[in-house]
Every structure is written in structure tokens, then in C-alpha cells.
């Protein structure tokens, strides 16, 4: 199965904010959609995260995208909406010490995110699809498919509005 994993455009937020599931609009949706439409095969089904920064882009690309909650970004719990600089250093250090397993207070771990994202992909029954989602979802999927250990997951970075194409073995 060939997947076109698209990260949403840049959120309309002040820099330095932990936004995870915070539902905010994205910048330059129309121009991002134009670039993507020029590079994506025509007529593919589109699935999207329910968050507006993804959903609005998906609606520019397809008249009826399918919304799936499993594509939402990692839940950062108590960190949501806080400045990264204001999050207790001990909590950030705990996350750095266990990149895959640590869950912020009231949130979920990257490993939990990975499980639900893999569950989503396993539910697909199409030869090709466009998936509009978040960096965390894309990162954990690619880490799994590339067999990367958790300490290397942070090496995977994706630009806003970018598309990563992957052939997923069945």
C-alpha cells in the first residue's frame, strides 16, 4: 500500500507553545493545498485528523475526506497550550530519558500514539491513500516501519505542509 503522509501547514500560534491537540487554524492553507495537489496523484481517498489545521487542508484536497480520531496529534496533557519554557524541567528530562514511553501528566506517550496510528493504517483497505496528519503521527509510523529504536525517533523531522511517500508492506 502506498501512503502519502502529509503534515499540516504551520499553525497560527505564537512560537514556543506546546500545542499537540490544541485545535488551531493553520497558515497559508490555499497555497499549501495548491502545492500538494500538483504533486499528488489525482482521485486518491483522503483521511484526516479531526483537528482544524489538518481537516481544513484535507477539505481543500478532497470533497469528502474521512475524519479519523486515530490521526490526531499526541495528547500532551497538562503541557497543552503552555510555553515549552514553562514546562517543569524535571518533566522534560523524564521525557528525554524515555522518548517512547513517557507520557506528560494527563497525556499519552509516543508509544501509545504509535499504537493507535498503526491501528489506523492496519484498518485501511486501499492500494493508495493520502493521510493528512501531524508530525508525531508521521514520526512514530516511520520509526516503526524503519525499525528505528526510540532514541532515534527525534531524528525524523517533517516540514509543515510536506508530503512523505511510503510503501507499506501488507
The number of folded domains in the chain is: 1
Q: What predicted TM-score, i.e. pTM, was given to this entire model?
A: 0.95
- For residue 24, the enclosing domain spans 2-167
| Cα(110)–Cα(132) distance, integer angstroms | 18
Strands across the sheet with 163-167, in order? Answer: 66-67, 46-48, 128-133, 2-7, 163-167
| Cα(102)–Cα(90) distance, integer angstroms | 12
pLDDT tens per residue, range 29-84:
999 999 999 999 999 999 999 999 999 999 999 999 999 999 999 999 999 999 99
Instruction: Write the CATH number for 101.
Output: 3.40.50.1240
Amino acid at each position: 500500500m502506498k501512503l502519502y503522509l502529509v503534515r499540516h501547514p504551520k499553525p497560527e500560534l505564537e512560537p514556543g507553545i506546546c500545542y499537540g491537540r490544541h485545535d488551531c487554524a493553520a497558515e497559508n492553507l490555499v497555497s499549501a493545498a495548491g502545492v500538494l495537489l500538483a504533486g499528488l496523484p489525482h482521485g486518491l481517498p483522503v483521511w484526516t485528523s479531526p483537528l482544524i489545521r489538518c481537516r481544513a487542508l484535507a477539505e481543500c484536497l478532497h470533497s469528502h475526506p474521512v475524519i479519523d480520531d486515530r490521526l490526531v496529534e499526541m495528547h500532551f496533557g497538562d503541557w497543552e497550550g503552555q510555553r515549552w519554557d514553562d514546562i517543569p524541567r524535571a518533566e522534560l528530562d523524564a521525557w528525554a530519558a524515555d522518548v517512547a514511553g513517557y507520557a506528560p501528566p494527563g497525556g499519552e506517550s509516543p508509544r501509545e500514539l504509535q499504537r493507535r496510528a498503526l491501528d489506523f493504517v492496519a484498518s485501511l483497505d486501499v492500494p493508495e491513500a493520502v493521510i493528512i496528519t501531524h508530525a508525531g503521527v508521521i514520526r512514530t509510523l516511520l520509526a516503526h516501519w524503519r525499525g528505528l529504536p526510540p532514541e532515534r525517533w527525534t531524528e525524523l523531522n517533517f516540514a509543515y505542509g510536506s508530503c512523505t511517500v511510503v510503501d507499506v508492506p501488507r
